Amino acid sequence: MLGFNSERVRREARCRQSNGASGLLRRSGIVASLALSVGCSSWSSPPDHQEDSAVLEGPMFQTDSATYHLTITPTARRLRITASFTNTGASPVYLVLCGSSALVRLEKHAGDGWQVAYEPLCSMDAAAPIEVRPGTTYRDSATVLDMIAPNSDPKFMVSPIEGTYRAIYSGFSSWNPSSSEGPPGEVLPEDVRRSNEFIIVQ
């Protein structure tokens, strides 16, 4: 096993579905946002499973920079976030791509917590997810676009954009696309799919 709490994964998946999400993929329609519900974050692992979460504690996605600069063009503000995910467990991890990246959303630090700041839009790919085998590293590169024209997407949901961020990525401990209900696999806990903190400046 990977060393994460499987009961926590199942409960997280059920909890996210009850908040209006169908896992990492919104399956209705061709165009989808790989966004997760932010609910249920207060649930924690039972005390007798604390040793499981310690195996993969801390952010598993590491960005290549602590600061990212927005590039402004006539049509959009943009930046590219590159991050590495190393599978330190004993089983494969499956990353579902939104276009060419496993990025699900960006969260901005606000007050004492975090708020959803950006969700990419993409055409759902029929291809199989990226399989990251134990001991190997996957490098992800995500282009983040903030369209300037009114009524155009994608856009940042916060203003100003500048601030402290973290990225959330897709991640499954198993993959079963033939599943008719819920996500097509066991969703990894969010703390495994989260990046370190970084700053976005203009």
pLDDT value of position 128: 77
| DSSP annotation of 30 | S
Helix, strand or coil, per DSSP, at residue 116: strand
Q: Which of 31, 193, 38 is nearest to 121 (CA)?
A: 31
Q: Which residues contact 176 (CB under 8 A, 6 or more apart)?
A: 184, 185
Q: Give the pLDDT confidence of 143-186 residue by residue, as tens digits.
A: 999 999 988 999 999 999 999 999 999 999 998 877 667 678 89
Mean pLDDT of the chain: 76
Whether the pLDDT of residue 65 is over 80: the answer is yes
Q: Which of 171, 113, 172, 167 is nearest to 144 (CA)?
A: 167
Does residue 19 fall inside a structural domain? yes
Question: Cα separation of 67 and 133, whole Å?
Answer: 29
Whether the pLDDT of residue 111 is over 60: the answer is yes
pLDDT value of position 82: 97
- Scored b (16 or more CB within 10 A) or e, 75-92 reads ebbebebebebebebeeb
* Phi-psi sector, 20: left (phi>0), alpha (psi -120 to 50), beta: left
Count: domains in the chain: 1
Q: Return the top range by mean pLDDT from 22-26, 31-35, 59-63, 134-138.
A: 134-138
Which domain does 85 fall in, by range? 6-201
Question: Cα separation of 41 and 16, whole Å?
Answer: 10
Does residue 33 fall inside a structural domain? yes
pLDDT value of position 21: 36
Q: Residue type for 42, please?
A: S
Range 65-72 average pLDDT: 96
pLDDT value of position 99: 84
Inter-residue contact 150 to 46 (CB < 8 Å):
no
Does residue 1 fall inside a structural domain? no
Task: For residue 153, report the phi and psi dihedrals to the nearest 5 degrees.
Answer: -130, 160
Range 38-48 average pLDDT: 34
pLDDT value of position 196: 95
pLDDT value of position 22: 36
CA angle 138, 102, 193 (to 5 degrees): 80
Does residue 133 fall inside a structural domain? yes
Range 19-38 average pLDDT: 35
Alpha helices (H) along 26-132? 50-55
Q: Residue type for 49, please?
A: H
pLDDT value of position 124: 52
Range 30-50 average pLDDT: 34
Does residue 50 fall inside a structural domain? yes
Does residue 38 fall inside a structural domain? yes
Percent of the chain with pLDDT over 70: 67
Does residue 94 fall inside a structural domain? yes
Question: Cα separation of 168 and 178, whole Å?
Answer: 25
Whether the pLDDT of residue 79 is over 90: the answer is yes
